Amino acid sequence: MSPTATRPAAGLDERAAGTATAVLGRARALRGLDLAVVRRLEGFLRGEHLGVRTGPGSEPADSRPYRPGEDDVRWMDWPLTARAGEPHVREVVADRELETWVLVDLTPSMAFGTTTTDKRRLAVTAAAVVGHLTTRLGDRFGAWVLDERGVLRRPSRTGRTALHAALRELAGSALADPPPVPGPPPRGRGRRAAEPASSPAAPDLAGALERLGAAHRRRGLRVVVSDFLDGGGDDPAAPLPWERALRRLSARHQVVAVEVVDRRERELPDVGVVELVDPESGEVVEVDTGRAAVREAFAAAGAAHGARVGAALRRCGAAHLVLATDEDWVASTARFVLAQRRTARAVDRMAGRA
């Protein structure tokens, strides 16, 4: 269970720092927004988020008769005491800090992009936006990185300096050249000799989600940034491989799933005969994009997969944000955050706290 660290090359430090700074600069365009948290939080520090129980805080909840020897006289409710003719104290809702963990998928399928950016860089941007929208007084931000070699966990810390350091490391991993795509397995007698000797398989998205849920039990915000292309077979009714792990994670935490997509994964242009390579397995398929039937079948399969991922995320209880490499991620994030704030207000009304 010991994670494998994924470290950027030394020459990438300056580029990673510049990328992280640029991303944070654009993320400040969302400074007027706040990613609302509607799930119960736990913690020992006094933060800026309301809990669901009374305790140390500043938000008034209710008043009750004063119990001598137990209650602090500093919390006396003097107006109610005067009206009722007996001492009353105020109860306040506990303030809690928010602990945010972001799982960023940087596996080979994320090293793809047909515009000015690719999915890896957009994934780092999504992590920066989450950090910018959730990091306030007393809040903690930590990151997990999943790539072809394993999982790297960066401890959660408070403050903007720690956020910049985490993003710089994420940017370094995203800017690093992806490993060469594995070729098709050799045939004949040499096949067995060419296979690696008992090398452990790198964790997939489901395994990373399981580790994340087991490592951090305190309630908070969990953000999963991925393209969610982890198999699933041809049966649309079958659950996706990561669905069970994500459902268990969302049972305890508030979960936001950021799906990073590129339009060429959902539609093919008419460019004649091309070779498509699976970045995970190295399998090569020759496709004639000049045939309308082929393009239509590809588009239908892409749309079906997108709908399947969306339905799975809804079943898991995760909020779903889609970021495309050819769209304005600021506008997409702003719409999503405003929708989350409406949801939070609705939950407050239902809980009688509005």
Q: Does the pLDDT of residue 43 top 80, yes or no?
A: no
Q: Does the pLDDT of residue 324 top 90, yes or no?
A: yes
Would you kindly state where each structural domain of the chain is located, as residue ranges? Answer: 10-39+98-179+202-263+319-349, 49-65+75-96
Express each pLDDT in 196-222 by its tens digit: 333 345 568 999 999 999 988 888 889
For the residues 289-302, what does the mean pLDDT come to? 92
Q: Does the pLDDT of residue 250 top 70, yes or no?
A: yes
Whole-number pLDDT of residue 64? 82
Whole-number pLDDT of residue 33? 55
Q: Which one has a higher pLDDT value, 106 or 159?
A: 106
Whole-number pLDDT of residue 61? 52
Express each pLDDT in 68-86 by its tens digit: 877 778 888 898 899 889 9
Whole-number pLDDT of residue 50? 40
Would you say how long the chain is, in residues? 354
What are the beta bridge partners of residue 276?
A: 285
Q: Does the pLDDT of residue 1 top 60, yes or no?
A: no
Express each pLDDT in 101-153 by its tens digit: 999 999 888 888 888 888 988 998 898 888 887 776 567 888 999 987 788 88
Pairing of strands 49-65, 254-261: unpaired
Q: E-strand spans in 41-180?
A: 49-65, 88-96, 99-105, 140-147, 150-157
- d(C-alpha 178, C-alpha 181), whole Å: 8
Q: How is 183-195 classified by DSSP, letter by letter?
A: PPPP-TTHHHHHS
Average pLDDT across the chain, whole number: 75
Express each pLDDT in 163-193 by its tens digit: 778 888 877 777 665 555 555 544 444 333 3
- d(C-alpha 10, C-alpha 281), whole Å: 28
Task: Let me know if domain 10-39+98-179+202-263+319-349 sits in CATH 3.40.50.410.
Answer: yes
For the residues 326-330, what does the mean pLDDT come to? 87
Express each pLDDT in 7-25 by its tens digit: 444 445 556 555 555 655 5
Q: Which one has a higher pLDDT value, 196 or 272?
A: 272
- d(C-alpha 202, C-alpha 215), whole Å: 18
Confidence of residue 351 (pLDDT cuts 50, 70, 90): low
Cβ proximity of 129 and 28 under 8 Å? no
Who's near 301: CB < 8 A, 6+ residues apart? none
- d(C-alpha 308, C-alpha 298), whole Å: 15
- d(C-alpha 349, C-alpha 264), whole Å: 42
Confidence of residue 37 (pLDDT cuts 50, 70, 90): low
Confidence of residue 283 (pLDDT cuts 50, 70, 90): confident
